[in-house]
Amino acid sequence: MELTKDVKLVPDVSQEKLVDLYKQMWTIRFFDEKVDEFFAKGMIHGTTHLAVGQEASAAGACALLNIEDKITSTHRGHGHCIAKGATADKMMAELFGRTTGYCKGKGGSMHIADIDIGNLGANGIVAGGIPLAVGSALTAHMKKQSYVTVCFFGDGATNEGSFHEAVNLASIWKLPVIFVCENNQYGMSGSVKEMVNVEHIAERADAYGIPGEVADGNDIVDMMNKTHDAIERARSGEGPTLIEAKTYRWKGHSKSDAKKYRTREEEQEWKAKDPIKRFKNVLVEAGILTEEKAEEIRKDAKQEIENAVEFAENSPMPTEDDLLTDVYA
């Protein structure tokens, strides 16, 4: 479908779905910005990793999935969870350590999961979700089920042995898994240019005989187009695809990161590629949104997060008895 003379969307997506995706991107951003605010105030404990600026890669990669399809997420996974259908109130409650959270307040930021909607869980271990995604895809293959698994990970994960082992197995067995590398240019404080001696991480797909695609991770339309092709390939039994989504995290690696390893000029250059603003401009030019409607949607998303905060703050804390539940003997 042609959105504008310069923007074409391969899958047939309704206008209502596109508007929902626009709101979803704002919801992801406002969620992380609110979490950032609460950590700074000491209202949330532990640590967190924010994906402000990366909304398009999460929303675009999940946009065409069914509820039966699965995802595995990362330590920077709030956006993935929301994109797969998680509700902001239960997510916020989890970060507040309340019993109404997805893991009853025991998992926190890096361990949100919801099996009912296909979210197999975020993961605090770099590359830890990649073998799990391949295991999920192997299950679908052996049970002859039609679901696919989208596996999110960062650029740093592609230097871990588990990445290479898992991609190799998925390739050999032609498993229905889509590997989505969110290349946000830095693994902690190290530039990807110093860590990987190829121009594109997607080139690593060549070693395993699978397609490697480079996507503009700040362009939700490009993300949907590239993911559409990978999903079709996976569902038809042709095996995995590696998609490299080139994007940028506006915040630091974690809450304690002063970002001294990169310039403010670089940050401003990437902020000018704001994925939400870019998508809004496409929808307005296509006549799907007006500027007024876009602003209304932005406000609705912000209110949704405020409602989630209220829900979390009014939810009960765990009791001493809860210390001995949900643990292995």
Is residue 187 a part of any domain in this protein?
yes
| CATH of residue 104 | 3.40.50.970
Amino acid at 21: L
Q: Using CA atoms, how far apart are residues 41 and 45, in angstroms rounded to an integer?
A: 10
What does the DSSP 8-state code read for residue 124?
S
Is residue 327 a part of any domain in this protein?
no
Tally of CB atoms within 10 A around 221:
24
How many structural domains does the chain have?
1
Is residue 322 a part of any domain in this protein?
no
Tally of CB atoms within 10 A around 314:
10
Rounded to the nearest 10 degrees, how much is the dihedral formed by the CA atoms of 157, 133, 46, 91?
Answer: 130
Is residue 6 a part of any domain in this protein?
no
Instruction: Look at the pTM and tell me if it is higher than 0.75.
Output: yes
- 218 closest CA partner among 182, 267, 260: 182
Structural domain harbouring 164: 14-315
What does the DSSP 8-state code read for residue 59?
H
Using one digit for the tens of pLDDT, what is the confidence trace for 288-313? Answer: 999 999 999 999 999 999 999 999 99
Using one digit for the tens of pLDDT, what is the confidence trace for 249-302? Answer: 999 898 778 888 999 999 999 999 999 999 999 999 999 999 999 999 999 999
290 phi and psi angles, rounded to 5 deg: -100, 165
CA-to-CA dists, residue 55 to 51, 153, 190, 219, 284, angstroms: 7, 14, 22, 9, 19
Using one digit for the tens of pLDDT, what is the confidence trace for 131-174? Answer: 999 999 999 999 999 999 999 999 999 999 999 999 999 999 99
Q: CB–CB of 113/121 below 8 Å?
A: yes
Widest pairwise Cα distance in the chain: 61
Q: CB–CB of 76/50 below 8 Å?
A: yes
Is residue 7 a part of any domain in this protein?
no
Q: CB–CB of 96/173 below 8 Å?
A: no
Is residue 225 a part of any domain in this protein?
yes
CA 274 from centre of chain: 16
Is residue 200 a part of any domain in this protein?
yes
Is residue 209 a part of any domain in this protein?
yes
